[in-house]
């Protein structure tokens, strides 16, 4: 079912005129298609996992797919707000969904202290990163803290990558931001991982209506900070963000400020969390970083949101 664009005022975007029931129906159709395409390709689906950051959009998606998944997966980035982790644990237990809390092989602290050493390549024996990341460090943080954690989950379910697939359901939405939509396909495959975005077509109105109808629980961190708080890497922090975190979650802010002191004592130049070094070029956001503000300088914008809405087969790869 193709989306028919209609001019509606919501976040300043021209949004699609699906009813909530139609949006839900299409969501389940996306999951069905991800499974059927994988099985038609002769591969076994070993698990269907909802990626659960603890944000309110993520919670809405989890509620929607709660009867379709084998597990929920939360990436513990080692630099998140503990109240969000507790919300994740409580919510998955209340929904009776098995939770996998995935950890990266190296912590955020080890990365910014320059303690993670490259084991191969031209920089073998050198730190892979030193200091707090600005925009240019975002991809490093995403790869090291989130992507590698998800690899451990994949390896838990995929012993034969030639015959088996794991499906990750992510909460990416086309209409979150004109800068983010290019990262939001309905279905993608990367090796033995099949990525599906069941709420990719949902508008803010759909999200609000569904939450109200089903009394979806809210994470206080998201309500107060307007982000899930599962990753405070600081790559795209806005001015004053750490002070705002300190107002509501002082333990999280103190942990960052203590780390600042450690990094400064080591003589590392990038010793301030959220500070953007001059002339840095932003690295692209990963699939799980939907709340990160980013823009690739010089990148082709691809089809517009209205064009995608009229033809959902368009993807950023086709653009």
Show me where the domains of the chain are located: 20-310
223: left (phi over 0), alpha (psi -120 to 50) or beta: alpha
Confidence of residue 17 (pLDDT cuts 50, 70, 90): confident
Task: Give the single-character DSSP code of 3.
Answer: -
How does 260-271 read in b/e, with b if 16+ C-beta sit within 10 Å? beebeeeebebb
With a pLDDT cut of 70, the percent of the chain lying above it is 78
- List C-alpha distances in Å: 5 to 135, 182, 207, 314: 33, 17, 18, 15
Q: Is the pLDDT of residue 290 over 70?
A: no
Mean pLDDT, to the nearest integer, of 55-74?
97
Buried b (16+ CB within 10 A) or exposed e, 227-240: bbbbbbbbbbbeee
Q: What architecture is domain 20-310?
A: 3-Layer(aba) Sandwich (3.40)
Which segment of 166-170, 239-243, 247-251, 300-304 scores lowest on mean pLDDT? 300-304
State the pLDDT at residue 184.
Answer: 60
Higher pLDDT, 177 or 118: 118
Tens-place pLDDT, residues 98-140: 999 999 999 999 999 999 999 999 989 999 999 999 998 999 9
Joined together, the tokens standing for residue 166 give 């794991």
CA–chain centroid gap for 117, Å, is 26
Q: What tokens does 57 get?
A: 């959009």
| Separation of alpha carbons 192 and 165, rounded Å | 5
Is residue 142 classed as helix, strand or coil in its secondary structure?
A: helix
pTM listed for this prediction: 0.84
Residues written for the chain: 319
| DSSP annotation of 136 | G
Query: Distance between CA 157 and CA 144 in Å, rounded?
Result: 20
Q: What is the pLDDT of residue 1?
A: 37
Query: Predicted confidence band at 286 (pLDDT cuts at 50, 70, 90)?
Result: low
Asked if the model's pLDDT at residue 307 lies above 70, the reply is no
Q: What is the per-residue pLDDT for 4? A: 33
Give pLDDT, residue 102: 98
Please tell me the distance from the alpha carbon of residue 285 to that of residue 277, in angstroms, as a whole number. Answer: 18
Asked if 73 and 168 count as a contact pair (C-beta separation under 8 A), the reply is yes
30 vs 312: which has the higher pLDDT:
30
Is it the case that residue 295 has pLDDT exceeding 60?
Answer: no
Identify the helix (H) or strand (E) that includes residue 76: none
* Phi and psi angles of residue 213, each rounded to the nearest 5 degrees, phi first: -65, -40
Q: Please state, for a pLDDT cut of 90, what percent of the chain lies above it.
A: 75
């Amino acid at each position: 079912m193709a989306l028919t664009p209609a001019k509606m005022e919501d976040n300043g975007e021209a949004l699609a005129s699906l009813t909530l029931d139609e949006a839900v129906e299409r969501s389940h159709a996306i999951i069905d298609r991800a499974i059927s395409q994988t099985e038609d390709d002769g591969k076994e689906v070993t698990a269907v996992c909802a990626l659960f950051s603890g944000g309110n959009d993520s919670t809405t998606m989890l509620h929607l797919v709660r009867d379709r998944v084998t597990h929920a997966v939360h990436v513990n980035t080692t630099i998140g707000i503990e109240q969000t982790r507790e919300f994740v644990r409580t919510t998955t237990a209340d929904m009776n969904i098995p939770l996998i809390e995935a950890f990266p092989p190296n912590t955020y602290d080890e990365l910014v202290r320059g303690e993670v050493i490259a084991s191969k390549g031209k920089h073998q024996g050198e730190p892979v990163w030193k200091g707090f990341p600005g925009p240019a460090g975002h991809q490093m943080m995403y790869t090291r803290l989130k992507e590698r954690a998800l690899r451990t989950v994949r390896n838990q379910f995929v012993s034969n990558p030639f015959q088996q697939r794991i499906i990750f359901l992510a909460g990416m939405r086309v209409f979150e931001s004109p800068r983010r939509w290019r990262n939001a396909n309905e279905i993608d495959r990367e090796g033995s991982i099949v990525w599906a975005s069941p709420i990719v077509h949902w508008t803010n109105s759909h999200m609000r209506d569904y939450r109200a109808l089903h009394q979806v629980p809210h994470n206080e961190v998201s309500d107060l900070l307007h982000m899930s708080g599962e990753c405070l890497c600081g790559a795209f922090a806005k001015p004053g963000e750490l002070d705002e975190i300190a107002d509501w979650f002082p333990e999280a802010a103190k942990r960052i400020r203590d780390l600042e002191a450690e990094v400064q004592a080591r003589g590392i130049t990038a010793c301030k969390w959220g500070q953007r070094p001059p002339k840095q070029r932003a690295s692209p956001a990963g699939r799980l970083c939907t709340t990160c503000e980013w823009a690739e300088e010089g990148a082709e914008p691809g089809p517009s949101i209205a064009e995608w809405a009229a033809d959902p087969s368009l993807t950023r790869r086709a653009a």
